[in-house]
């Protein structure tokens, strides 16, 4: 930290008066834009810019900037010596979790479960329908002024397998209901029963994959799921099946997927890739039967109001000393 920044922080903190005794919260959304925040806390706005708004050592509750690179999100953590909560605005926490190892014991990590359910589920359905009905080819035909008609697969009467049946997986199934699918199967880390039917354990994937026309990946990226959709997984999918990934790029083995799509045996619709962003010249860009969207499951008009509601709820819980929602890990 530069001397200039230290002086700035001292001057800022000296102007706070009695606020010194209040817990400091760093928010990527200007606090004045969030109604209902508790006035017993102090707030600073930081959305990943080069300059910190206050001394990071004073921060007790850190809300991670949204859609910023991991190195930006984790940059202040090493200086946050009084930190008690890290709150992401994403459902996945893979971009922030590795940095927690350097924090003091007892820091709680909470994710944004529920914030992205609607948007990500909408995109998953969009990718499924666009891929099955050949929308990318229609767009290319329009650009070329060509009338490209013909028969296309429908979602009706198809079998869908959702791999990762959490809040987003459930929201995807909600949106599949009107499409008259023949079957929806569900897979998660732990088996359970839902109102719609059983959730199978992940070790039953070898039996479930050959039955699915569409396989939707919504599982978090962990050491256990990294490369889950590899050569063995993909080889068990039926000929002509569609793989949809709205989770994280690392859940799919890109080399193995390229082998399958380049042969024409499988198709894919990917909102996330490995590597990401997908560099120019990468073979996935022009692989046959592959539709790519640039990781846009979450950033829609639905994000901001849901993010504000989450932060209002969490910060009121924090101010009252209550248990926080969506706790996924604690350091130490």
Contact 211, 185 (CB under 8 A): yes
Q: Which two tokens stand for residue 108?
A: 């709680």
Name the β-bridge partners of 261: none
- Residue of 62, 60, 109 lying closest to 81 (CA atoms): 60
What's the rounded Cα separation, in Å, for the pair 168 and 138?
29
Check if the beta carbon of residue 276 is closer than 8 Å to that of residue 95: no
Exactly one of 95, 116, 200, 295 is catalytic; which is it? 295
CB 205 within 8 A of CB 230: no
Determine the Cα–Cα distance for residues 220 and 225; give it in Å rounded to an integer.
7
Give yes or no for a contact between 65 and 45, defined as CB atoms under 8 angstroms apart.
Answer: no
Number of H helices, E strands in the chain: 9, 14
281 token code pair:
């010249």
- Confirm whether 295 is a catalytic residue: yes
Indicate which residues carry an active-site annotation: 295
């Amino acid at each position: 930290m530069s001397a200039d920044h230290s002086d700035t922080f001292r001057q800022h903190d000296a102007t706070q008066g009695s606020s010194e005794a209040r817990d400091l919260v760093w928010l990527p959304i200007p606090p004045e834009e969030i109604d209902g925040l508790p006035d017993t806390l102090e707030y600073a706005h930081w959305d990943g810019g080069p300059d910190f708004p206050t001394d990071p050592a004073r921060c007790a509750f850190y809300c991670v900037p949204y859609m910023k690179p991991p190195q930006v999100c984790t940059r202040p953590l090493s200086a946050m010596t009084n930190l008690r909560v890290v709150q992401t605005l994403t459902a996945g926490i893979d971009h922030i979790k590795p940095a927690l190892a350097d924090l003091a014991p007892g820091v709680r990590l909470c994710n944004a479960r529920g914030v992205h359910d609607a948007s990500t589920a909408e995109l998953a359905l969009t990718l499924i329908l666009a891929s099955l009905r050949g929308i990318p080819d229609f767009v290319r035909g329009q650009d070329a002024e060509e009338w490209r008609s013909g028969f296309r697969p429908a979602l009706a009467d198809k079998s869908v397998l959702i791999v990762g049946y959490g809040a987003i997986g459930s929201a995807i199934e909600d949106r599949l209901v009107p499409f008259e699918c023949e079957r929806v199967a569900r897979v998660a880390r732990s088996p359970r029963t839902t109102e719609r039917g059983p959730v199978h354990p992940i070790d039953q994937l070898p039996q479930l994959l050959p039955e699915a026309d569409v396989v939707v990946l919504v599982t978090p990226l962990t050491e256990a799921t990294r490369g889950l959709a590899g050569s063995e997984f993909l080889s068990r999918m039926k000929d002509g099946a569609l793989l949809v990934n709205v989770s994280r790029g690392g859940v799919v083995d890109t080399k193995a997927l390229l082998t399958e799509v380049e042969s024409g045996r499988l198709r894919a619709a990917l909102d996330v890739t490995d590597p990401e962003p997908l560099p120019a010249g990468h073979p996935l860009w022009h692989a046959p039967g592959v539709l790519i969207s640039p990781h846009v499951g979450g950033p829609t008009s639905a994000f901001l109001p849901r993010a504000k509601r989450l932060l209002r709820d969490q910060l009121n819980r924090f101010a009252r000393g209550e248990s926080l929602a969506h706790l996924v890990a604690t350091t130490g």
